[in-house]
Amino acid sequence: MSESKPDPDPETEADAKFGDYGGQYVPEALMPAIEELQDAYERYVLDNEDGFMDEFRRRLRDFGGRPTPLQRADTLSERYDRDVYLKREDLLHGGAHKLNNALGQCLLAKYMGKERIIAETGAGQHGPATAMAAAHLGMPCEIYMGRRDINRQRPNVFRMRINGAEVNPVTTGRGTLKEAISETMRDWATTVENTHYIIGSIVGPAPFPAMVRDFHSVISEETRKQAKEQYGRLPDSVVACAGGGSNTMGIFADFVDSGPQSGPESASGGEPRADVGLYAVEAGGSSLSVDEERGVAPNSASLSTGSEGVLHGARTKLLQDSDGQIMESHSVSSGLDYAGVGPELAHLVDEERVEAVNVDDDAALEAFHRLSQAEGIIPALETAHALGFLEETDRDLGEFVVINVSGRGDKDLEAALEETEQRDIPNAPEMEVFE
Amino acid sequence: MSESKPDPDPETEADAKFGDYGGQYVPEALMPAIEELQDAYERYVLDNEDGFMDEFRRRLRDFGGRPTPLQRADTLSERYDRDVYLKREDLLHGGAHKLNNALGQCLLAKYMGKERIIAETGAGQHGPATAMAAAHLGMPCEIYMGRRDINRQRPNVFRMRINGAEVNPVTTGRGTLKEAISETMRDWATTVENTHYIIGSIVGPAPFPAMVRDFHSVISEETRKQAKEQYGRLPDSVVACAGGGSNTMGIFADFVDSGPQSGPESASGGEPRADVGLYAVEAGGSSLSVDEERGVAPNSASLSTGSEGVLHGARTKLLQDSDGQIMESHSVSSGLDYAGVGPELAHLVDEERVEAVNVDDDAALEAFHRLSQAEGIIPALETAHALGFLEETDRDLGEFVVINVSGRGDKDLEAALEETEQRDIPNAPEMEVFE
Amino acid sequence: MSDIEAAFEDGPAFVPYLAAGDPEIDASQRYVEALAAGGADVIELGLPFSEPIAEGPTIQSAIVRSLEGGMTVDDYFEFVDSLDVDVPVVCMTYYNLIYQYEDDEPQGGSEGQKGPAPFVRKAKEVGIDGFVVPDLPAEEADPLRTACDEAGLDLIFIVAPTTNEERLDRLVSLSSGYVYVQARLGVTGAREDVSERTTASLDRLAGYDLPKAVGFGIKSGEQARDIVAGGADGIIVGSALVDVVADGYESDEPVAETADRLEALCRELKQGAVAGAQDRPTPERT
Amino acid sequence: MSDIEAAFEDGPAFVPYLAAGDPEIDASQRYVEALAAGGADVIELGLPFSEPIAEGPTIQSAIVRSLEGGMTVDDYFEFVDSLDVDVPVVCMTYYNLIYQYEDDEPQGGSEGQKGPAPFVRKAKEVGIDGFVVPDLPAEEADPLRTACDEAGLDLIFIVAPTTNEERLDRLVSLSSGYVYVQARLGVTGAREDVSERTTASLDRLAGYDLPKAVGFGIKSGEQARDIVAGGADGIIVGSALVDVVADGYESDEPVAETADRLEALCRELKQGAVAGAQDRPTPERT
Ligand SMILES: Cc1ncc(COP(=O)(O)O)c(C=O)c1O
Ligand SMILES: Cc1ncc(COP(=O)(O)O)c(C=O)c1O
């Protein structure tokens, strides 16, 4: 294979590719909109034209509740005999990091003169976050969601409808995220002239992956600052779960080029690492093996077990069969349940700057209960994977570890308890209180 | 009636009474614990002994996510032709202001050497907030909750259990908040030597009302500072819902003695009020009238329609029949559904420093949908009463109004939609999306 | 010396409790009379309040039955007025009912139309001798104490195992009639064992003159005996008796039979108390 | 001139589309042959991909039927190889299937074992003449364009109503065989009306030599006539034909009858196109 092209002009095409990953594999009808978006991204986001970024940051603060705390987790720190800090994205308005991106893109659409917002949602948080952001900015909004997900995720549907968004049931296929993405692309292909499609992670055609990362990079900017203020130096390791990878790149962004640490030594006297270790924790599901015959991967570990391919507009790592058909992925956590991953993450893993690891369903559920009981924070099941890594790994994570608590678990209560009941999770609470 | 006693020594008995309200109407067995608590309150809270308040404030910041934003609500401001700001307590960890108090009392219990936490909960947020705070501080915790409330409020029960708290079903009576409070008092009467009872609002015997207010007064401290920074002066009016009244006194506390405004005029040029107007919005329920025969008040407006009496340890305003039997209260919002109110609020209303107003179920539901659609914030049904007041009132609230968004509505989605369906709420969304 | 205090003069006093109107007025009247027949020296008669925070589940249920039967404060006074018993009656209730009381026929000056004063006057009128108000600690008791003093009725305070010396002094000095010695922490309710704390409390109270009646959890003659042997001047029994009423109510037992069972239990308890007095190492009063 | 481009020489070309293997291999083969019998000048034959983001519900369902029937890339090549039609065949698919393709029997050097080069070589081997890849815009097309050039096959690009002048130039210059003119915004699917934007697109393309085939939403002979009259050199019809297959499948119609209905619809469409050419004010090609 020899497809490498010369790097695109960095002035006009910011981060269109990440190594060989990325690109723009979309129907021609969308390309002009993507060019327009690329242009808007460069002007408003990269160059802060019309004070876009200032308004974005102000709204993230006043509406979103930023900065979110970097909290030392006392009980976990004791358990793992290191200083474990939690970046509390669960405290962001809506309950997950997703608002950073939804608000950024919604505001950008407004600056671009778009009149309508569309988005896909699986069972996760992107739909509600988009509905909130659109209501906040007074933009009409329609969310595509699989029929099956609608029936499984009543509270999230309620939230979107209550925020005034239309929820369009997608009845094709199995009625889940994949179909919802395709349906949203179809809407966009029809309405592209007045409509902006808010993709929910660092996936899709350029400039989405870079742009979504930039909206989320406030996480890592704050973490860097807070780490220095509270600990005197940068962390040794940063751990985040990875579905598409938006919370992941959000907290990694400013650490990728961290370089050897300088500055005063930490208060607690630990030796800082030469480089901040970055761990992307994927959903190991029930197993890392795949069923080629049925086209099913019982995991969502595209970085760990997937291969290069093209999906939803970008070249990246995928779960696919040998023909290139996309596999059905699986995870106990619906927000990680996706067959692809952001191209930038794929690249950073190839470059060995980020280490891709994974945690299976059981370990994630155990970690869900552990944080809830030990620290009084009920994490999202997505986040529980990042926490499970702390328990499972034999890597030396160093003295000072930051975990990105990408979201809260309120959306997952029923699912977590149901899944817990079907397994043997040693630290799960009894639920005999109901009649 | 002439029961007035000389004011207690302010050095040793901080705020035991508010005018004639307050006091300590509890069984003798609890009095020593109350004296011990009074002492701890004075030492740790009022005098910051052992840096208690510093630790409390630090944990509120790192664990709780304080400060919460003071956000201008653009659409509401336009609608009401004044500057409407929202104090975003919904962004506090757990989703409501309740954590301020739960964390404060839990930490105090720890400083006092107590080994166990108990609390009552109705359908509201106090139980989950207490369970979180107890988990955070590693304290065993038991929550009493009526059998009926348990079955109606599954997610809150899940949250408490997941955070490791025991949930004790109370099967006496109608199985709601009243019975849960009585049962918690019973537990406390038995276990008072090693157990602290975390009361959930500014009610109960002294020192609870003053102490709970002090833990929540961080709301008003922040609001004051943010108002000056963002608007150049204090607000003309501050509006909060009132059940027991903890979010209410929390945001009123530092404005009660606001005095005539000085300092530079506001950026927007409005004339500031001589005094900050304070509005406590009670639940008007379905009607302000009562059914003496059945002992039922179809509202929870104790300040507006109640009379002086003694309930749950304090003299205050109550919903009671002519004998003094406590009425069954009602509100669409379970967190406001209480027959009493904090003694300090009762006093401030008598003194005409706080105005008691009320908003009925329908107007609250309409306000719930209005904020959700206009600003992308789904408020708690409790908070919706404060928002409904903005729409309903003909009072002149001035140029600059602050509403305390005491909590988020995630806990209320099912209830709000069910109640909405049974009524004619003009701005409610259709829910035809489910099959 | 009040009638109540006098009831402790001739050996240990047996002080049974029932909630007035449980399960309804007529049966309740019959039951209260059975207490007297069974040997009660003083009767504590509950005036039901909707939030009985100091009661255990047994008495709470009695209160609910009574209130659901329509019991009001006026009904209560009428009930007491029509009782055919010749031992002193103590009204046990919660403070809000006292605080809210308004006399239909105002007497005297402009004060005292509402609250403790008219309540106590009315109580005296119907033959009540004293009060126990579990949610009224010494700190808040001045108005009721004053009203009782004016009317010459007793106000009985509860001393708990957690009560420290300073409070104990104050409580005993505010009490008249007897001191209610709470046998254990917790709420009312019948239990199997006798708490060590009972003995400790009695020891602490040994220096005070007022009779000491021990309550909370006594259910058998044997317990009564032990407690009196330990130095109590009387025993207070509530939940064990209410259990008999509840049983009768739930099994649709004829009122007369329930009354008989009540009377029998009272006898057992009273006998236990009397036996306990004989067991005493050094009887301080006889 | 390629065989595909040549198919546009003798009057307007009729370019029908079906998904290979819909609903299963044997019937599908029969249906594709019916297209040829019905007058197809070029056949677009879909190689099903699991995420067909540019397709409407009709074609998406066809793809699901085919995949559920077990269709693989190897099956597809076999299918084409065994087809008995003598018009050029265009493979319509998504890029990932091309990108992942690995040749079982490597030919030549170490390069070209995987991706566009072996895919195109294999396609040529089984008789495919060109490709339409809806998710491959000009920006990403170099490798496939190169492979097609090496093999002498056509690569057809889609021009959308939103395509600006600059992109249009680039797309046409990259295209060979014909230019696929997307008649309207949106995805594939039969519709009632002919978009004004079709005419606008054709006008913009008038200066270019390559044949212009219009697709997206054509379902009737009348539409075909209008579009050709408006200047199109050919019409592409997909969903309307897939609807016939779906109908037959759902009603359990014998394959031969469905094939007959397909052939009849093709005839109507082809006749419409031919009639449209005669209607043209100033025919630019004949
Ligand atoms: C709380 C939370 N964390 C993580 C994710 C995974 O998304 P990403 O990998 O883009 O951060 C989701 C997706 O819904 C989520 O809701
Ligand atoms: C969000 C919210 N607001 C207000 C209240 C009412 O309590 P308070 O009047 O003590 O603030 C509650 C009680 O549960 C609540 O959950």
**DSSP string for A345-404:** HHHHHHTTSEEEEEEEHHHHHHHHHHHHHHHS--B-HHHHHHHHHHHH--S---SEEEEE
Are D275 and D223 a contacting pair, CB within 8 Å? no
Subunits with at least 3 CB pairs below 8 A relative to chain B? A, C
Q: What length is written for chain B?
A: 435
Question: Of A117-121, B330-334, B350-354, C273-277, which range is least confident?
Answer: B330-334
Q: Does residue A433 lie within any of the structural domains?
A: no
Q: What is the identity of the amino acid at C197? A: R
What confidence score (pLDDT) does residue B296 get?
85
Are residues D158 and A309, on separate chains, in Cβ contact within 8 Å?
no
CATH topology of domain D3-277: TIM Barrel (3.20.20)
Nearest to C266 by CA among C236, C286, C246: C236
- pLDDT at residue B262 greater than cutoff 50: no
Q: What is the identity of the amino acid at B310? A: V
Tell me the CB-side half-sphere exposure of residue B346, using CA atoms within 13 A: 29
Host H or E run for residue A105? helix A98-111
Are residues B150 and A434, on separate chains, in Cβ contact within 8 Å?
yes
- Which residues are CB-neighbours of A212 under 8 A, at least 6 positions away? A101, A104, A105, A199, A201, A202, A246, A249, A342
**Which one of B213, B228, B245 terminates a domain?**
B213
Q: Does residue B9 lie within any of the structural domains?
A: no
Ligand 2 mean position to B243 CA, how many Å? 6
At residue A174's C-alpha, the angle toward residues A173 and A175, to 5°, is 90
Residue nearest to atom 13 of ligand 1 (CA): A335
Are residues D50 and A325, on separate chains, in Cβ contact within 8 Å?
yes
Share of chain B above pLDDT 70, in %: 92
Query: Residue B72 to residues B230, B400, C161, D174: CA-CA distances in angstroms?
Result: 9, 10, 55, 53
CA distance C225 to C209: 21
Is the domain of B400 the same as that of B281?
Answer: yes
Is the domain of A254 the same as that of A269?
Answer: yes
Per-residue pLDDT of chain A (435 residues; tens, 9 = 90+): 344 444 444 434 456 799 999 999 999 999 989 999 999 999 999 999 999 999 999 999 999 999 999 999 999 999 999 999 999 999 999 999 999 999 999 999 999 999 999 999 987 789 999 999 999 999 999 999 998 888 878 889 999 999 999 999 998 777 778 789 888 988 998 898 899 999 999 999 999 999 999 999 999 999 999 999 999 999 999 999 999 999 999 999 999 997 655 444 444 445 666 789 999 999 999 999 888 778 888 999 999 999 999 999 999 999 999 999 999 899 999 899 999 999 999 999 999 999 999 999 999 999 999 999 999 999 999 999 999 999 999 999 999 999 999 999 999 998 899 999 999 999 999 877 766
Is the domain of A154 the same as that of A287?
Answer: no
At A180, which CATH number?
Answer: 3.40.50.1100
Are A224 and A234 a contacting pair, CB within 8 Å? yes
Is the domain of B193 the same as that of B302?
Answer: no
- Measured in degrees and rounded to the nearest 5, phi and psi for residue D223 equal -60, -45
C61 CA: distance to closest CA in chain B (Å):
8
Nearest CA in chain D to A328: D50
DSSP code of residue B206: T
Per-residue tokens: D119: 């895919």
Residue nearest to atom 1 of ligand 2 (CA): B407
CA distance B315 to C98: 13
Are B307 and B320 a contacting pair, CB within 8 Å? yes
Is the domain of B241 the same as that of B278?
Answer: yes
CA distance C244 to C265: 9
pLDDT in tens, B206-242: 999 999 999 999 999 999 999 999 999 999 999 999 9
Q: Does residue A430 lie within any of the structural domains?
A: no
Is the domain of A80 the same as that of A184?
Answer: no
Is the domain of B239 the same as that of B387?
Answer: yes
Is the domain of A133 the same as that of A236?
Answer: no
pTM (2 decimals)?
Answer: 0.93
User: Radius of gyration of chain C from Cα atoms?
Assistant: 18
The number of distinct structural domains making up chain A is 2
Ranges under pLDDT 70 in chain C:
105-112, 187-195, 282-286
**Which one of B213, B233, B252 terminates a domain?**
B213
pLDDT in tens, B85-108: 999 999 999 999 999 999 999 999
Ranges under pLDDT 50 in chain D:
110, 112, 283, 285-286
Residue nearest to atom 7 of ligand 2 (CA): B243
- pLDDT at residue B192 greater than cutoff 90: no
Domain of B287 in residue numbering reads as 70-95+217-425
- Measured in degrees and rounded to the nearest 5, phi and psi for residue B306 equal -85, 180
Tell me the CB-side half-sphere exposure of residue B301, using CA atoms within 13 A: 22
Secondary structure E strands in chain D: 13-19, 43-46, 89-92, 128-132, 154-156, 158-159, 179-182, 212-215, 234-237
Mutating to test ligand 2, I would choose from B100, B345, B382 the residue with most ligand atoms within 8 A of its C-beta, which is B382
Contacts of A186 in chain D (CB under 8 A): 53, 56, 186-187
Is the domain of B226 the same as that of B336?
Answer: yes
B100 lines ligand 2 (CB under 6 A): no
Nearest to C241 by CA among C17, C14, C13: C17
For chain D, the structural domain boundaries read 3-277
CA distance A331 to A335: 8
CA distance B155 to B150: 9
B415 lines ligand 2 (CB under 6 A): no
DSSP code of residue B429: P
**Which one of A167, A196, A213 terminates a domain?**
A213
Could you tell me where the DSSP H helices lie in B64-97?
74-80
Q: What is the identity of the amino acid at D228? A: V
What lines the ligand 1 site, CB under 6 Å?
A 96, 98, 124-126, 201, 241-248, 335-336, 380, 382-383, 406-407
Per-residue tokens: D228: 């050709």
Q: When comparing pLDDT for B186 and D264, which is higher?
A: D264
Is the domain of B78 the same as that of B116?
Answer: no
Strand partners, B402: B85, B238
Chains A and B touch (3+ CB pairs under 8 A): yes
Are residues B62 and A68, on separate chains, in Cβ contact within 8 Å?
no
Nearest to B336 by CA among B390, B389, B292, B373: B389
Query: Residue B262 to residues B228, B273, B275, B353, B396: CA-CA distances in angstroms?
Result: 11, 10, 11, 19, 21
Is the domain of B151 the same as that of B29?
Answer: yes
Q: Does the ipTM surpass 0.95?
A: no
- Measured in degrees and rounded to the nearest 5, phi and psi for residue D167 equal -65, -35
Is the domain of A209 the same as that of A221?
Answer: no
Q: Does residue A6 lie within any of the structural domains?
A: no
